[in-house]
Amino acid sequence: MRVLVVAVGTMGDVAPYTGLVAPLRAAGHEVAIAAYPRFAELIRACGAQFREIPGDPAVAGEWTQAENSTQAARGVAKKTLELGEAILAVAKEGTDVLLLSMPAQVGVHVAESLGIPSVGVFLQPVFPTTEHPPSFLGVGGSLGPWGNRAAGQFVLGMMGRLLRGATAELRSRLGLPALSKREMTERMSTWPVLHGYSPSVLPRPADWRPALSVSGFLWPAVAAHWQPPADLAEFLDAGEPPVFIGFGSRKIDDAPRIAALVDEALRLAGTRGVIQAGWADLVSRGQRTITIGEAPHEWLFPRMAAVVHHCGAGTTAAGLRAGVPTVGVPILGDQPFWAGRVAALGAGPAPVPYKKLSAERLAESISSALSNPGYRQAAGALSSRIATEDGAGELVAALDRLACARRKDIA
């Protein structure tokens, strides 16, 4: 089959899908990934065809700064329509099945218009359950069975209301019949969604509908010839394992202040640090640190004594895979959810919310992560279980079942 993956968002929203390319191609499928232009090189390097979704994730969220909720809602509607039409354009280049990331799920209507199947491949849980709150609610722990389900229903309902007008307009442009709220709910109740995170970290809820599955983490493709910069290799060889600190694709307005805070926290904790500049453009001035650009987490994190980060889904997965303690500094979105989950599993101390970050609090958390052997033991045990899971393999098997079912339908 000709498989088109639509991955919309920042690096952490795109990179995990590159790890699907090799196993899909090995199973005989052709693979293309549609994403923003800045990820073209990343996608081509993993062996997939690149198809462009216009836009830039560094500025794609600027509409959220609208002066009021009405303007924000209009911004969401506009972006939804633009994304739907962009997915249609890239899908028309030759596609037998659409794999849609959570931000790209509007593509389900595009697939319907083209008469091809689609599958959701989400990196976060968003469907209601009694077992945990929705990941984008911004909370780090359970609200109780009733509260968890109510929160999940609230978030889905809010998303539905926000997108209802844009969805209706898109379906009209695609030549599809209008659907009532009830009809839309019934249609989506059978849509298959595979969740690309570890069931050892967050088990599949028993009360989810059958078409929702949890497969295992999706790992970014490994660059075949990547070598660490000489200064990074020398720094790592020059002393005890350092602590990693980075905020990935999060843009931070007060980066100089945060960089100075990080330097002071590492000094107070008495440890060395590897600071990743990221989109925040952090630059360390400390004598016991090194500032780096991009480096594969699967290479870097196992060489760390602990990792400090925003707890995006992909970075959280990489830290747990490495078996080292995590200090979460969540900022927004699903980050408090994953930071809380890591702490609940005993793989790191309680998270330090970004808004409450100080050199003293960060130093205390780093010291705790380094001195408490229980955190490393829990992280190591999780790492061992995660290593037995195969999220990409589960997806390939699901597509094989889909292809078999379509062949029977045609026959």
- Give the whole-angstrom CA distance, residue 70 versus residue 230: 52
Reduced to 3 states, what is the DSSP secondary structure of residue 118?
A: strand
Q: Note the pLDDT of residue 63.
A: 40
Q: Note the pLDDT of residue 294.
A: 86
What is the DSSP secondary structure assignment for residue 303, as one 8-state letter?
A: G
What's the pTM value of the predicted model, to 2 decimals? 0.91
- Give the whole-angstrom CA distance, residue 109 versus residue 254: 40
Query: Other C-beta atoms within 10 Å of 6: how many?
Result: 29
CA of 137: how far to CAs of 41, 109, 124, 363, 383, in Å? 33, 26, 12, 28, 27
CA of 8: how far to CAs of 101, 191, 329, 364, 378, in Å? 7, 19, 24, 36, 33
List of residues 6+ apart from 290 with CB closer than 8 A: 231, 232, 235, 273, 274, 275, 284
Domain 230-386 has CATH 3.30.70.890: no
Q: What percent of the chain has pLDDT over 70?
A: 93
Residue 231: its H or E element: helix 230-237
Mean pLDDT on 197-222: 95
- Give the whole-angstrom CA distance, residue 177 versus residue 204: 34
User: Is pLDDT above 50 for 65?
Assistant: no
Residue that is written with structure tokens 């469907």 in the block: 127
- Give the whole-angstrom CA distance, residue 99 versus residue 81: 19
Burial class (CB in 10 A: 0-12, 13-18, 19+), 183: exposed
- Give the whole-angstrom CA distance, residue 154 versus residue 134: 9
- Give the whole-angstrom CA distance, residue 328 versus residue 350: 8
Query: Other C-beta atoms within 10 Å of 401: how many?
Result: 11
Instruction: Note the pLDDT tens digit of each residue in 74-121.
Output: 777 888 999 999 999 999 999 999 999 999 999 999 999 999 999 999
Q: Note the pLDDT of residue 67.
A: 43
Residue ranges matching CATH 3.40.50.2000 in the chain: 2-217+389-410, 230-386
346: alpha, beta or left? (left if phi > 0; alpha if psi -120 to 50): left
> What is the CATH code of the structural domain delimited by 2-217+389-410?
3.40.50.2000
- Give the whole-angstrom CA distance, residue 164 versus residue 30: 33
In the sheet with 289-292, reading across from the earlier edge strand, the strands are 289-292, 273-276, 243-246, 306-309, 326-328
Reduced to 3 states, what is the DSSP secondary structure of residue 207?
A: coil
User: Is pLDDT above 70 for 66?
Assistant: no
Instruction: Note the pLDDT tens digit of each residue in 18-61.
Output: 999 999 999 999 999 999 999 999 999 999 999 999 988 776 44
Mean pLDDT on 384-398: 94
User: Is pLDDT above 50 for 396?
Assistant: yes
Residue of 102, 110, 65, 64 whose CA lies nearest to 84: 110
Residue pair 123/197 in contact by the 8 Å Cβ criterion: yes
List of residues 6+ apart from 293 with CB closer than 8 A: 276, 277
Radius of gyration of the chain (CA): 21
